[in-house]
Structure formats: structure tokens, C-alpha cells
A and B are shown apart, each in its own frame.
Chain A
Amino acid sequence: MLQNELFNNVIQDLNAGYWELYVDPDREIWSEKFYTNIGFQRVEVEENIDYFLSHLIHKEDIDLFRDNFLNYRKNSIDFKQHIKILTKDGSYKLFRCATNQELPVNIKSEVLLIFFIEIKLEPEQDISKDNFYYKETAQMTATGSWYVDFHNRKSYWDFETRRILEYPDDYIPSLKDSASYYTEDCRQQAADLFFNCAMAGTPFNTEIKMVTANGRIFWVKAIGKPVYNESKEIIGIRGVFQDIDEVKSKELRLERSLEIIASQNSRLFNFAHIVSHNLRSHTSNLSLLVQLIEDVENPDEKIGLINEIKEISSSLNTTIEHLNEIVAIHTNKDQEKKIVKFQDALNIVTNGIGQMISLSNTQIITDFTRLNEISYIPAYLESILLNLITNAIKYKHPDRDPIIAIKAYEEEGSNYLKVSDNGRGIDMKLFKDKIFGMYKTFHYNKDAVGIGLFLTKNQIESLDGSISVESEVDKGTTFLIEF
């Protein structure tokens, strides 16, 4: 019997059965738990080594166990082995069999003991199952794992990392090449993250663009954390990364749509204000006029006032025409683009306003050598040129004849049109924000309507382009259009 209570408790926690080995005469006492584990009652079996070897132990294990047992009993040589023992239901159960010296417990017993610790699952099967689930998870979530070992200056990839990055299974990743796994614009980001993790132990969790062996660029979510040794030094970085290209692309598309919607929304809002304001000014005049008509008694005066209605009606019409033009821009933008030669569009414009050009002695200098045509809605290009040219003539400098320089060119993949004049210029400090506004005029000209540049800007923007302006009073104005 075991007297040591502590030892007893330990053995209970181990859930292990055991044999106590006595001498003179040689006999073994099997513990309660030993019986429980194999399912037999004490009376059903004989409690000795011979019966055990002939009836209970799996025949594969007989020889080794007998040798071990006898060596232990006679020479006190400790042993441990795996052993399969018959159970009541006829199947064999696997046990880890060990003497008390081999137990991971620092308590010794007076008598010799052999423990039989049940192994619930066969170890090989267990690992292969885990491995299966791990592979499945990695593949289903497209998650690769990697490890960078600072000590050996090596990096390790799992199978999924190689698959995602389209490298062959026998590819050995190299620390030297590590920058090339990221896109050029993300290399600095990657370097910063790794450096911070390696030096300061800062873990990271970020989104970054990577490049496969075949040059395909895709988005990943990259997570990494430092690995410490026992002396708390960072000896490596371990991490996973997940292919999130599909999600990220959707997110980016969504962001872009949101931007477009926001800008359209603000244009609509602006337009609503313009409509409200411009129509209100006429309706309020009309209402004031009606009040006046009601108020005056003299019939002649009344008739005179009624004539004023004509004027209000005509300016109301003009306003509505302007508003129609703006609406038309947004409905027309789906019109078919065609290849338009700048010279052709310009010819149409200058023919239309030939008289204005010759009367004002305007000189137009063109340079379409670097870019002579673009794909655009022809009517828009003509309208843009018409507005910019007539503006230049209308606001010419009083002391000199207008010279308009028109130049088209390509730069860094974008097409530009530049229209410069030598006119009186616009005071940019005062009018910078208003130049492209509706009904904004900056000069005392009688025929300044303030709709031209507003339309031009809307036409350009409806086709995803932009227009900017530079100007200096008394020097001239330059409009730059990016198509």
C-alpha cells in the first residue's frame, strides 16, 4: 500500500494504473485504476506476470515487456515503453508503461512500481489529423505562414505561402530577395515594419501589396510578431499573411464609386442652388411687379407696367436655356467619343466667329505637333475652344491686339490643352474661387454673362477631366485643360 498521500494524489491526477512489485514471494499487486482502465474485474483475471504475458498483453509487445520487467525486478533497471493491453470488450488499448524513475514526478516510492498510463489517441493519427485541418484552413482562407530566423539568417515558408506567391514547392526563400516579394511602392512600408519588429519588437498588422513569382500584384493582410529566446532577445519574426485581393479590390472600387457619387452629389446640390437662386430672382421680380400693377390706379401706367412682364419673361427664358445647357452636359456625356483633330475643331470655331476675330485683329497661334488629336465628344471640344477664344477676345487688353496661343501635348500619359492670351488678366487674389462659377463676371463689359466658363468646366469634368487657370492682371490669362 502506498502511504505517501502526496504521491497518491499525483497518481490519481495522472489517471494511471500501476503495479506494486513485492519480493519473497515475487508477486505484483495491480491497482484499482489498472483494472478500471482495462475493464476487467479482479476475479476475472489472475493477478500475476505469467497470466498477463499469456493472456492480456498484445503479442507484439510480449518480448520487450518481459525483458524490461525482469530486468527491472532483478536489476532495478528502469524502463519505459508503449504497450497494448487487452480490454474487456476484446480490443486493445494503448498505454505508456514506465517505472517510477521515469515518471515526470519528483516523488519516490519505497516499493518498485510500474505505471500504465493510457494514451487516448494514437499519436500518429492525431498529428496527421491536425496537419490536415491546418492545411485545409490555410488553403480555404488563403493564409500563408512564414518565419524569419535571425540567427541562421534564413527564412522559412509553408506550402501555402509558396502557393499564394506562385513559387515552386522546392523554392528556398532568401532574405536577400525579400524586398522583391513586395511591390515597389510598398517596399519602404515593408522595410519599416520588419525593421521595427526586429529592433523594437513592434508587432504589425497591415495591408500591403505583394508580387508573385509571375509578377501578379495582389493585396494581402500581413500580420507579424517578434519571436524571443529565453534571454528575451528577438531571434526572429513569425507571421502569417492572407490573400485579400478580392476584398481589397472591392473596397477600392467602392471607395472610388463613393468619390464619384460625392462629387456628383455636390454638383447636384450646387445645381439645385443655382436653379433656386436664378429662378427666384425672376419670380420675385414678377411678384413685385404684380403688386405694383395692383397698386397703381392710372390705367396708362398699368399698361406700361404690363409691358415689363415681357422683359421678365424673356430673361426667365434665358435663364432656363442656361440651366438646360447644364443639364444637357450631364445627359450628353454618354455620347460617343470620336477621334477629333484639334485643327479641325478649331477651324469650325474660327469660321463661326470669323467676324469677331477679324474685327478685333486677333492672332491665333497653334501648336498641335506634339499631340494633334484626341478621343473626345467633338461638340464639347468645339464648345471649350469657342468659350476660351471668345473670352480672350472679349477681355482683350485695351492697349494691344489679342494674341491667343493654343497648344496640345502629352505628358506622363495625360493629354493637355493650353490656351494662353495676352489680355487684361484676372485678379486671382479676388476671383480665384469664382472664375468657374455661374453668373460670375469680373469685368465691366456689358455683354459679360458669366455662363461660358461654368459650362466649359462642367463639360470637362463630366468627361473626368479638369481645368485650371493662371492669370496676372495686365499680362494675360492661361487656361490648362487635362483631358
Chain B
Amino acid sequence: MSQIGLACIIDDDNMYVNLVKRIVEAKKLCKNLMIFQNGMEALEYFEALLNNLEKKCIPEIIFLDLNMPIMDGWEFLENFTKIENKLGKTITLYIVSSSINPVDIERAKQSNTVKDYLIKPVTIHDLESIFLNPAS
């Protein structure tokens, strides 16, 4: 069982991000964690990667929040889907949101890019099983 090299959290809730970070560190779930405050920051990073593809800079897992300022999760997802294939690496994307709106959940299911929809609060156990077995 190999440890995940790089994971990415796109979320504007600092408290949540800090807590996940602590869990990841404490449990040694992955080597490096990237944090983006909103969809725009993350998208800019991925678009820049296209010009300078470095496999180790591409995360294996993305945790995407939906409600964010400047660019929300849906808009990021729409843009990310367009460039996903050009990154040349399998990326597993989870939506992690506090929205329990069935419209959001259904919409996420329709997307091929989205692996699963997690409703906050996530548990330590959830995170462990995702990190240990991302593709399952």
C-alpha cells in the first residue's frame, strides 16, 4: 500500500481546511497537501501546469467545496473537466460540501469527473479510507 503523494483541497473555510490538514498530518495520510481558497486559484494553478507538466505537481486526489467566493465549485469543475485529460494522470475528485440540496447531489452524480459527493462533516474514518484506497 503506497502513501498518496499529493492531495489538493479547494475550500474557502479556513477552519475546515486546518482541521483536515491536522488529520492528514497526524495520520500521515499523504506526503503533501495543497490548499486553494477558491476555484479561481485552483484553476489558475492547473492551467499553469499544462505549460509545464510535472507529474509530481499533479495531485492524486482533489477535495472540492461548492460554495466559494470568486469562483465556486461548479464553475471550477466545468473548467477542470476540459483540461483533465491533458494532465496525463488519474485524478480522483471528491465534492465535499455542506449543501444537502438534492439538486447539488444529483448534479454531482451526472458528472463523470466526480468520484463521490461527501456531505460535511466528514469523519476521520472517511478521510482514512479515501486516502488509503483512492480509486475504490
Q: Which residues of A contact B (CB under 8 A)?
A: 273, 276-277, 280-281, 283-289, 291-292, 295-296, 305, 308, 311-312, 315, 430, 439-444, 448, 450
Contact = CB atoms under 8 A, between A and B. Distances in A.
Interface string B115-126: 000001111100
Contacts of A277: 67, 98-99
Most buried by B among A284, A308, A312: A284
A442 B69 contact: yes
B30 interface: no
Given A277-B98, A288-B20, A296-B26, A308 B15 contact: yes
Interface residues of B, number: 22
A280 B100 contact: yes
Nearest to B124: A291
B69 A280 contact: no
A291 B121 CA distance: 10
A280 B98 CA distance: 6
Contact of B13 (A281, A291, A305): A281
Given A277-B98, A280-B98, A295-B26, A288 B19 contact: yes
Given A277-B99, A295-B124, A284 B70 contact: no
A430 B67 CA distance: 15
Contact of B70 (A285, A292, A441): A441
**Interface residue SS majority, chain B:** loop
A331 to B, nearest CB: 27
Interface of B: 13, 15-16, 18-20, 22-23, 26, 67, 69-71, 98-101, 120-124
Contact of B22 (A273, A292, A448): A292
Contact of A439 (B19, B69, B121): B69
B70 A280 contact: no
Given A280-B98, A281-B98, A442 B70 contact: yes
A451 to B, nearest CB: 12
Contacts of B123: 288, 291
B124 to A, nearest CB: 5
Given A308-B15, A450-B69, A276 B121 contact: no
A283 B70 contact: no
Contacts of A283: 121
A430 B79 CA distance: 13
Nearest to B20: A288
Given A292-B19, A296-B26, A312-B15, A284 B69 contact: no
A313 to B, nearest CB: 11
Contacts of A440: 69
A285 B19 contact: yes
Contacts of B20: 288
30 contacts: A273-B101, A276-B100, A277-B67, A280-B98, A280-B100, A281-B98, A283-B121, A284-B120, A284-B122, A285-B15, A285-B16, A286-B121, A288-B20, A288-B121, A288-B122, A289-B19, A295-B23, A295-B26, A295-B124, A296-B26, A305-B22, A308-B15, A308-B18, A308-B19, A312-B15, A315-B15, A439-B67, A441-B70, A442-B69, A443-B70
Nearest to B69: A441
A315 B12 CA distance: 14
A441 B69 CA distance: 5
A115 B125 CA distance: 111
Contacts of A439: 67, 69
A281 B70 contact: no
Given A280-B120, A288-B20, A443-B70, 19 more contacts: A277-B99, A281-B13, A281-B16, A281-B98, A284-B98, A284-B120, A284-B122, A285-B121, A287-B121, A288-B19, A288-B23, A288-B122, A288-B123, A291-B123, A291-B124, A296-B26, A442-B69, A442-B70, A450-B69
Contact of B69 (A273, A308, A311, A448): A448
A9 B122 CA distance: 99
Contacts of B121: 283-288
A309 B98 CA distance: 19
Closest 3 CB pairs of A and B: A284-B121, A284-B120, A280-B98
Most buried by B among A273, A291, A305, A315: A291
A285 B100 contact: no
A444 B70 contact: yes
Contact of A284 (B16, B22, B67, B71): B16
